[in-house]
């Protein structure tokens, strides 16, 4: 398979077309942004680590019944994916209060939720990805009710699978963001799953092992990503 032209450059990744119209290549950059790109920086080797972590997590989810866009990891920074028609709804699932939920509800970070919370955000950088509900999704015609039922079901199943996966590796899965897309009439899980898109806390020390170290200038960012990569990638 051959890499062709750059289709899109995002904040952390570049998407390339290939000679197969059904496949694209995701290139993982070291660039990091936060607060809708108001804060910019680089996290050394982040792209390499996120590519590997995403590979392991996509394979684990596929094996357990979640259809994903993952095809294969090509090299350090590149992954082959099925080309999706991306649904413009970012799906966040939460197990522990943190980030914008702590702010919105005036709750302390760290409170364990009695059940997972699933939230939807409109994927629109110019608007800063505002939170939306099913009525907005219908009115904006972002996805059908049937698609959203499937997506919510997948998000909750991903939650069960990844919570257990991380728990076995001494990590609490606090929350995470997923993106889905359409492919030949099917809904597939897309994008990436990594410490940029998840909050991960060490179970023993409660130390943050994710992009909050960058967002909040906590230091030891590369070290935290490397430790997640080590725990996720070891058999
Ligand atoms: P939030 O608490 O800031 O709403 O973030 C919830 C989760 O979503 C957290 O794990 C980080 C992830 N996330 C992204 O992947 N991209 C984003 O643009 C934002 C705001 C959050």
The rounded Å distance from CA 199 to ligand 1 centre is 8
Closest C-alpha to ligand 1, atom 15: 197
- Write out pLDDT tens, residues 39-85: 999 999 999 999 999 999 999 999 999 999 999 999 999 999 999 99
Closest C-alpha to ligand 1, atom 18: 36
Mean pLDDT (whole number) for 135-164: 98
Q: What is the CATH number of domain 85-224?
A: 3.30.470.20
Per CATH, 3-82 and 85-224 having the same topology is answered no
Pocket test for ligand 1, best of 197, 209, 212, 213 (most atoms within 8 A of CB): 197
Ligand 1 pocket, residue 132 CB under 6 Å? no
- Write out pLDDT tens, residues 97-142: 999 999 999 999 999 999 999 999 999 999 999 999 999 999 999 9
The pLDDT of residue 2: 87
The pLDDT of residue 90: 98
Pocket test for ligand 1, best of 172, 175, 201 (most atoms within 8 A of CB): 175
Mean pLDDT over each residue of the chain, to the nearest integer: 97
The rounded Å distance from CA 133 to ligand 1 centre is 17
The pLDDT of residue 205: 98
Q: Does the structure show a pLDDT above 80 at 93?
A: yes
Please report, for the chain, the start and end positions of each structural domain, with discontinuous segments joined by +.
Answer: 3-82, 85-224
Reading the block at residue 68, the tokens are: 């994903």
pTM score over 0.75? yes
- As assigned by CATH, the class of the 3-82 domain is alpha beta
Residue 138's Cβ-side half-sphere holds a number of Cα atoms within 13 Å equal to 6
Task: For Cα atoms 112, 114, 115, give the angle at the middle one, nearest 5 degrees.
Answer: 110
The rounded Å distance from CA 25 to ligand 1 centre is 24
From the CA of 175, give the closest atom in ligand 1: 10
The pLDDT of residue 3: 80
The pLDDT of residue 235: 75
Question: What are the beta bridge partners of residue 27?
Answer: 14, 78
């Amino acid at each position: 398979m051959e890499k062709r032209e750059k289709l899109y450059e995002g904040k952390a990744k570049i998407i390339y077309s290939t000679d197969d119209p059904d496949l694209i290549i995701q290139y993982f950059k070291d660039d990091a942004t936060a607060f809708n790109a108001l804060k910019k920086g680089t996290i050394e080797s982040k792209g390499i680590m996120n590519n590997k972590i995403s590979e392991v997590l996509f394979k684990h989810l596929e094996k357990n019944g979640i259809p994903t866009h993952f095809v294969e990891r090509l090299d350090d920074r590149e992954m082959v994916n099925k080309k999706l028609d991306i649904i413009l709804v970012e799906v966040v699932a939460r197990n522990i209060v943190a980030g914008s939920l702590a702010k919105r509800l005036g709750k302390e970070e760290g409170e364990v939720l009695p059940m997972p919370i699933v939230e939807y955000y409109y994927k629109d950088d110019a608007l800063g990805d505002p939170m939306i509900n099913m009525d907005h999704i219908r009115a904006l015609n972002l996805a059908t009710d049937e698609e959203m039922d499937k997506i919510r079901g997948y998000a909750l199943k991903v939650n069960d699978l990844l919570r257990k996966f991380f728990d076995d590796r001494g990590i609490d899965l606090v929350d995470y963001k997923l993106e889905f897309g359409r492919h030949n009439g099917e809904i597939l899980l897309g994008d990436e799953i990594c410490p940029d898109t998840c909050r991960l806390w060490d179970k023993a020390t409660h130390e943050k092992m994710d992009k909050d170290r960058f967002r909040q200038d906590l230091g030891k960012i590369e070290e935290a990503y490397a430790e997640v990569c080590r725990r996720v990638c070891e058999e």
